[in-house]
Structure 1
Amino acid sequence: MKLNFSIIIPVYNRPKEINELLESLTKQDFNNDFEVVIVEDGSTETSEKVIENYQSQLNINYFFKENSGAGASRNFGMQKASGNYFIILDSDVIVPPQYLTTVKNTLESNYTDAFGGPDAAHHSFTALQKAINYSMTSFLTTGGIRGKKKGVGKFQLRSFNLGISKKAFEITQGFSKMKTGEDIDLTFRLWENGFETQLITEAFVYHKRRSTIKQFFKQTYAFGTARPILNKKYPESAKLTFWFPSVFILGFDLSILLLFFRISELLDVYFFYFIILLLDSLFRTQKIKVAFLSVITSFTQFLGYGLGFLKSQFFRKK
């Protein structure tokens, strides 16, 4: 099958980010034509003028619609696209030059109807953004589930960087109405319909994620609230490891409480863990500021996800 790529990008009030993404797409070493479909999701600060600057360099189709969320906007873009294989990107990513070539070569040698790719920190990112990237990708914080494990058939997709064939989209109808966790939900429905997924390790993007601790907390809190909903919808997917962030936070609270009884051993364990995080981040990033911030962002990640998980697990309206 000849692959004809359509890149689908939902955007909401982020003209500066879409500018960086489009610029990176002009630098692809890809020899084939590809389409870019940008769906403006009811933005008050539109990207129209930015997009006009790239019309002569890229095959862009631009649509404006009422705000309905990223999932519905991705579906809208896939419905409008002309290609037979859709690549979904978040507006806050930068794509390295070899990205499309890597995806094409991998799918031609090992075809699956969906794929996911990991993320990395670009050299231009702030120290906080690099720290957030560390927290989201480190084996010490997430177990490497967001892009470090190879596997065909059972890789769970992430919406910031994924691909899906037109056939798979038409059968699954794309993303559900879930506001968070919709990419995992899509993965399960792909599997239910007999489609395979894979991780293309080399098809990474530079993902900015959030630029403040508060934004990062809100994002991880949303991730945590989504997981019990997914567990209920797909009971076979539930794992004890999903409880780890909540247990981590409750254990940390207990370690503080035990200090009043002059028991410090549990807090010592946490202190040792954070020292390991700091040293590992320093080794990986070579930046002492990023390393210290990685401790803060990792704790924020556990706190946000753990609290969101507990609230959704025990206080969600049935």
Structure 2
Amino acid sequence: MPSFSFIIPVYNRSEELEELLFTLSKQTFRDFEVVIVEDGSQHPCNLVIDKYSNELQITYLKQENKGPGPARNTGAKSAKGRWLIFVDSDCLLPENYLEIVNENVDSEDFDCFGGPDRPHPNFNTIQKAIGYAMSSVLTTGGIRGAKEKLDIFYPRSYNLGVRQSVFKAMGGFSDMRFGEDLDFSMRLLKKGYSTRLIKEAFVFHKRRNNFRSFFKQVYNSGIARINLEIRHKGTLKPVHTIPSLFVGGHLFIIILAIFASPWYLLLFLVVPITVMSHAMNETGEIRTSVWAVAAAYTQTFGYGLGFIEGLIVRKILGKKEFHAFSSNFYK
């Protein structure tokens, strides 16, 4: 029986999966298995799995497309590890990832852990810029990176580990299409289980590679935050409203420019200059820092607009849980 089971949902991402499996094959700690769940892909990844069948202990499962949460639940049912580790197919793991995790869970003084993510030096410019936007203190307060200061730490499913006994007691992930990982962490904490941020156990996360799909992702995240607040009263924090205030602030500047003075439009330079300077300091790359401005605006406007729609539809109109851009989660 392995100590760890990596569970990976996949949808039409065989090339990315191959890169992830390569990094798993290089892990310095070897007591683990890999459970891959093909979530209704039109282009299955069996050839990639065959390539690594002699290097890794792999279980390959298939199901109709149901989304990542149900796919992870399917994988967990077949997993044999004492700890389940959920990672996304677009992640890469440093060679010592599992070695670090094993050192931390050895004492078992926590029930669930998560780690930060960061862009790999070999990622393209857009991926690095989006990675900055999703982890920067200027855009998300750092709560998706390696900081816990602005909110309770909720492990997220691109890098989440949980004891199998706890996962079973929790009943796995819920039927939420978006925000299911936060819902899981919130339910876990409500039941008295503990979480831990292992800062050294980071993954290289590619995320989306174009702004259109990135916008859809963060828009749904904004809606999901309202859905989560309704499911878990009191989890909505002031930091979550910042993107919406950012959207409103830009609208207010336009109104001032129209009815007071066009000089107010100069205020639009503040955010790009600040973000570019900060991104340059963080990444050391001029090209990435320039694109980071576009990524930051996409992140804040996408999340903020989704948050506003969720607030209106759920809180004001009182309608049922919903999400946008729902034709396919992975696109």
Q: TM-score range by the shorter chain?
A: over 0.9
- Whole-Å Cα distance in 1 between the matches of residues 313 and 195 of structure 2? 33
Tell me which of 293, 305, 311 is aligned to 2:303: 305
Unaligned runs of 5+ in 2: 321-331
Whichever residue aligns with residue 302 of structure 1, its letter is T
Computed over aligned residues only, the root mean square deviation of the Cα atoms, in angstroms, reads 1.7
- When normalised by structure 2's length, the TM-score is 0.91
Query: How far did 1:181 drift?
Result: 0.7
Are the equivalent residues in 2 in contact too, given 1:137–1:146 (CA < 8 A)? yes
Aligned residue type for 1:23:
F
**DSSP 3-state at the match of 1:17:** helix
Q: Is the 8 A contact 2:115 2:146 kept in 1?
A: no
Distance in structure 2 (CA, Å) of the matches to 1:197 and 1:72? 22
- Partner AA of 1:56 in structure 2: N
User: Counterpart of 1:90?
Assistant: 88
Letter aligned with residue 13 of structure 1: N
Q: Which residue of 2 aligns with 1:185?
A: 183
Offset of residue 265 of structure 1 = 6.5
Query: What is the SS of the residue equivalent to 1:9?
Result: strand
Q: Does 1:23 align with 2:22?
A: yes
Instruction: Verify the 8 A CA contact 1:6 1:87 in the aligned structure 2.
Output: yes
Match of 1:241 in 2: 239
SS at match of 2:60: strand
Partner of 2:312: 314
Greater CA deviation, 231-240 or 69-78? 231-240
Note the 1:131-150 alignment, pairs <5 A. Answer: 131-150=129-148
C-alpha separation in 2, matches of 1:61 and 1:3:
13
Pair 1:116–1:267, CA change in 2 (3 A): farther
Deviation at 1:233, TM superposition (A): 1.2
Q: Who is 1:220 aligned against?
A: 218
Please give the alpha-carbon distance, in whole angstroms, between the structure 2 residues aligned to 1:13 and 1:94. Answer: 17
Task: State the Cα deviation string for residues 189-216 of structure 1 (Å, max 9, x = none).
Answer: 1112211001100000000000111010
Q: For residues 91-121 of structure 1, what are the alpha-carbon distances to aligned partners after superposition, in whole Å with 9 as ceiling and x for unaligned?
A: 0001110100010101124631100110011
Q: How does 1:151-166 map to 2 (within 5 A)?
A: 154-166=152-164
Task: Give the equivalent residue in structure 2 for 1:209.
Answer: 207
1:114-125 to 2 correspondences below 5 Å = 114-125=112-123
Q: 1:138 to 1:264 in 2, by over 3 A?
A: farther
Pick which of 118-127 and 256-265 moved more. Answer: 256-265
Report % sequence identity: 44
Q: Which string of whole-angstrom CA distances, capped at 9 and with x for unpartnered residues, describes residues 123-170 of structure 1? A: 11110100000011111111110132258x942111111001111111
Task: Give, as a single letter, the amino acid of the residue that structure 2 aligns with 1:234.
Answer: H
Instruction: Give the Cα separation in 2 of the matches to 1:150 and 1:239.
Output: 13
Determine if contact 2:2/2:80 at 8 Å carries over to the other structure: no
The one-letter amino acid paired with 1:183 is D
* Residue-pair matches, total: 315
What displacement does 1:261 show?
2.9
- 1: CA distance between counterparts of 2:194 and 2:262? 49
Change (3 A) 1:195 1:303: same
After TM superposition, give the deviation of residue 259 of structure 1 in Å: 1.6
Q: Distance in 2 between matches of 1:65 and 1:25?
A: 23
Tell me which of 112, 123, 126 is aligned to 1:128: 126
**Distance (Å, rounded) in 2 between the aligned partners of 1:305 and 1:290:** 21
Whole-Å separation in 2 of the counterparts to 1:244 and 1:141: 9
- Asked if structure 2 preserves the Cα contact closer than 8 Å seen for 1:154 and 1:197, the reply is no
Aligned to 1:103: 101
Distance 1:114 1:60 in 2: 23
Report the AA paired with residue 62 of structure 1: Y
Query: What amino acid does structure 2 have at the position aligned with 1:90?
Result: D
1:311 and 1:207, CA in 2 relative to 1: closer, same or farther beyond 3 A? same
Q: Distance in 2 between matches of 1:177 and 1:186?
A: 10
Q: How far apart in 2 are the matches of 1:92 and 1:145?
A: 20
| 2:299 partner SS | helix
CA distance in structure 1 between the aligned counterparts of 2:106 and 2:266, rounded to whole angstroms: 51
The alpha carbon displacement at 1:309 in A equals 0.6
For the structure 1 residues 157 and 264, does the alpha-carbon distance in structure 2 shift closer, same or farther, using more than 3 Å as the test? Answer: farther
